[in-house]
Amino acid sequence: MSTTDGVFFIPEMSTDQRVRVFRRKFGDMEEFDGMEVDAYIVITERYVVVFDTLLCPEDASAMVQMVKDQLSGRQLLVVNSHADWDHCWGNSYFTSGRAAPIIAHEYCLTRMLSDEARQELLDFQQRHTIFQNVALAPPTMTFKQRFTIVGGDLSIELIPAPGHHPDHIAVWIPELSLLLAFDAIEKPLPILENAEAVPSMFATLERLLALQPKRVLCSHGKSTSVALVEENLAYFREIERRSHELLQRHHPTNEELEHASEIIHYSYDEVIAGAKEPFDRTFYVGAHDANVLFLLQWLMRKRGDA
Ligand SMILES: [Zn+2]
């Protein structure tokens, strides 16, 4: 597969002309079989705002080409939801001759300047040709608490939403009651960074629910469902409940913790029961096990027994 033919405009994901949804299939990367990621462009009176830049500069270029009739008279802005590769490796399209401000949480800048980020890019470039033109292009404007883009007809509020990662943000557009949740919400399940991130994830999901969105988009899983926010929260509460139950009667060994979902009797199949669409099983089985492990570790630390 070439680098550009994987980006598609998905009109059915949006009910408002000003919000355009784009989807990138991961394509030929075996370890992410069937995975895809969405990015958005929101067109306001003053600005055209690109939310996430997908996998490579060619992806960002493809998205911008699809809205080029909207660029005249409007400033182009870029927002990164967080520093994960599938959300910001197209950033370099917006440098040099096409420079646009890249806005993100200040920790996103730290992550993109890190040795880990450089190493990860080198690793991916060795394995997949689609990353050959990727250069890390860190954010150029950062915030910590909240950032508002006053677009004229639409205002766009960038709000911290940690849990998946500490630099993760969500976007709230009050005029449309639209929440762009990125990886804070995910179908079939969101992904915790580690045990320390557990309270942040609960707080983020509660906070997003309190916004009372009428529409929610997230980066993975093709969902526009508002109910998914509640389902994701219920999923973590269920892990918490079963973990708590286990810890009342048993202190798990390290060996048992390697199969965390088994010891709390909450299998991946139970989590996705009723879902009709296919998910990348290997990926999400691993993610679910890790989520349970982190919840257990967090509870054990809280109880003071680990
Ligand atoms: Zn992601």
pLDDT at 250 over 70: yes
Q: How far is the CA of 277 from the centre of ligand 1 (A)?
A: 19
Q: What is the pLDDT of residue 49?
A: 98
What pLDDT is stored for residue 5 in this prediction?
58
pLDDT in tens, 198-223: 999 999 999 999 999 999 999 998 98
Å from CA of 82 to ligand 1 middle = 9
Give per-residue pLDDT as tens, 125-156: 999 999 999 999 999 999 999 999 999 999 99
Question: According to the model, what pLDDT value does residue 1 have?
Answer: 43
pLDDT recorded at residue 34? 72
Rounded distance from Cα 22 to ligand 1 centre (Å): 14
Please tell me which residue, 208 or 97, carries the higher pLDDT value: 208
CA 26 vs. chain centroid, Å, equals 15
Ligand 1 center–CA 220 separation, angstroms: 7
pLDDT for 306 = 56
The second-level CATH assignment, the architecture, of 7-160 is 4-Layer Sandwich (3.60)
Q: How far is the CA of 253 from the centre of ligand 1 (A)?
A: 31
Q: Note the pLDDT tens digit of each residue in 163-182.
A: 999 999 999 999 999 999 99
* Contact present, 49 and 37 (Cβ < 8 Å): no
Q: What was the pLDDT predicted at 305?
A: 66
Q: How far is the CA of 80 from the centre of ligand 1 (A)?
A: 11
Ligand 1 centroid–CA 89 distance in Å is 12
Q: What is the pTM of this model?
A: 0.95
CA 53 → CA 101, 138, 139, 261, 292, distances in Å?
13, 12, 12, 34, 31
- For residue 219, the CA-to-ligand 1 centroid distance in Å is 6
Ligand 1 mean position, distance from CA 306 (Å): 30
Q: Separation of 145 CA from ligand 1 center, angstroms?
A: 22
The pLDDT score that the predictor gives to residue 142 is: 98
> Which whole number is the average pLDDT over 99-111?
98
| Å from CA of 182 to ligand 1 middle | 7
In this predicted structure, the answer to whether residue 277 has a pLDDT above a threshold of 90 is no
